[in-house]
């Protein structure tokens, strides 16, 4: 007597059936934890706009990395917060600069058990807060910046990094860094390219996390949120120049770009679930407006479903723990 011909609900009836037919998996190995390390701090410093995230000291960073390895995370990405900044971001190249010493600390602790990735960008190290060096008119000078990136990549490789993450959105950055690494004998060091990186309001809390001194915006080098095809183009250019992994950033407003990039390239695709995306969810959860743990896992699963093989997320360690209990 009638009734629907198709009954998709049949496969949703029990947890075991839902597990059987789940199209997307979320696993600790797919999650990469971004971490901040501060040169000045003697205690970990809370970041007020990112509840639960801290600026680490060198020793608390090493503990966090050991824990990440223990949890089976995919890796860590290191960001340095230097005490001194200058016009050319020289602290990024200095072997004694905070990021380079932190890389060495973490690698000494985890060895090959955990991929250690470094942000390769000048914004944390420049007194003007831009991702590159400026020309006489105060504009970001693409090709002069490439020379600094090359030196910074080599310094990070010498410190023992597994992969560098060029994130400044300068044209040609992946090729120049690849050549410099190879010429310095570091052909084994990989490149996680921030390929489609948008000029996003959702990086706001990150600027507090790295004590950014930026005045103005990054719209002459980061992409216009209106453009999707351009994100695919950027990813293809980076693969051509030697990127081992390409990344889309932010994640949630750009899941269409994640999908298009996933369909266009033949290397792993990462997506960065950025600071503002983290803080939005945390703020809503703090008000009791959403179920925090469920929303975290749903967010990360959705980024995976859109096509990201790898997700950078401030929830990486917590999500790995949640996954162990399900």
Residues that bind ligand PBG (CB under 6 A): 119, 121, 123, 167, 203, 206, 218, 274-275
Question: Which of the following is catalytic: 130, 197, 260, 262?
Answer: 197
Q: Taking the complex as a whole, how short is the minimal distance between the CB of residue 317 and ligand PBG, in angstroms?
A: 16
Q: Are 26 and 319 in contact (CB under 8 A)?
A: yes
Residue (109 or 214) nearer to ligand PBG, CB? 214
Q: What are phi and psi of 165, to 5 degrees?
A: -120, 85
Q: Taking the complex as a whole, how short is the minimal distance between the CB of residue 35 and ligand PBG, in angstroms?
A: 11
Strands 45-46 and 116-120: unpaired
CA atoms within 13 Å, Cβ hemisphere of 246:
32
In what helix (H) or strand (E) does residue 79 lie, and over which residues does it extend?
strand 75-81
Asked if 85 is an active-site residue, the reply is: no
Taking alpha carbons only, the member of 53, 30, 74 closest to residue 278 is 53
Start-to-end CA distance of the chain, whole Å, equals 40
How far, in Å, CA of 308 to CA of 172, rounded?
A: 24
Q: Are 271 and 231 in contact (CB under 8 A)?
A: no
Q: Taking the complex as a whole, how short is the minimal distance between the CB of residue 273 and ligand PBG, in angstroms?
A: 8
Residue (20 or 215) nearer to ligand PBG, CB? 215
Question: Which of the following is catalytic: 249, 260, 262, 304?
Answer: 249
Q: Are 172 and 139 in contact (CB under 8 A)?
A: no
Residue (85 or 218) nearer to ligand PBG, CB? 218
Q: Taking the complex as a whole, how short is the minimal distance between the CB of residue 13 and ligand PBG, in angstroms?
A: 39
Residues that are catalytic? 197, 249
């Amino acid at each position: 007597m009638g009734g629907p011909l198709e009954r998709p609900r049949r496969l949703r009836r029990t947890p075991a059936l839902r597990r059987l037919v789940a199209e997307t998996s979320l696993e600790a190995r797919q999650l990469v934890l971004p971490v901040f390390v501060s040169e000045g701090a003697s205690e970990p410093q809370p970041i007020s706009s990112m509840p639960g995230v801290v600026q680490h000291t060198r020793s608390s960073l090493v503990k966090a990395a050991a824990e990440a390895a223990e949890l089976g995370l995919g890796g860590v990405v290191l960001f340095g917060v230097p005490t001194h900044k200058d016009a050319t971001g020289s602290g990024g190249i200095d072997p004694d600069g905070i990021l380079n010493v932190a890389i060495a600390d973490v690698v000494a602790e985890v060895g090959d058990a955990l991929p250690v990735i470094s942000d390769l960008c000048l914004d944390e190290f420049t007194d003007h807060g831009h991702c590159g060096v400026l020309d006489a008119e105060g504009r970001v000078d693409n090709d002069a910046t490439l020379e600094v990136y090359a030196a910074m990549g080599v310094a990070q490789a010498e410190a023992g990094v597994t992969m560098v993450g060029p994130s400044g959105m300068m044209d040609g950055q992946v090729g120049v860094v690849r050549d410099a690494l190879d010429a310095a004998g570091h052909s084994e060091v990989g490149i996680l390219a921030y390929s489609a990186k948008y000029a996003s309001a959702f990086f706001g809390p990150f600027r507090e996390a790295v004590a950014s001194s930026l005045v103005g915006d990054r719209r002459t080098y980061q992409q216009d949120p209106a453009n999707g095809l351009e994100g695919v183009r950027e990813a293809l250019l980076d693969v051509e120049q030697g990127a081992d992994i390409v990344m889309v950033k932010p994640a949630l407003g750009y899941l269409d770009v994640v999908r298009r990039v996933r369909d266009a390239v033949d290397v792993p695709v990462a997506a960065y679930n950025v600071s503002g995306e983290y803080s939005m969810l945390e703020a809503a959860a703090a008000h009791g407006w959403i179920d925090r743990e469920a929303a975290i896992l749903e967010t990360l699963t959705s980024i995976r479903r859109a096509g990201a093989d790898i997700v950078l997320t401030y929830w990486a360690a917590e999500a790995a723990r949640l996954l162990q209990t399900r």
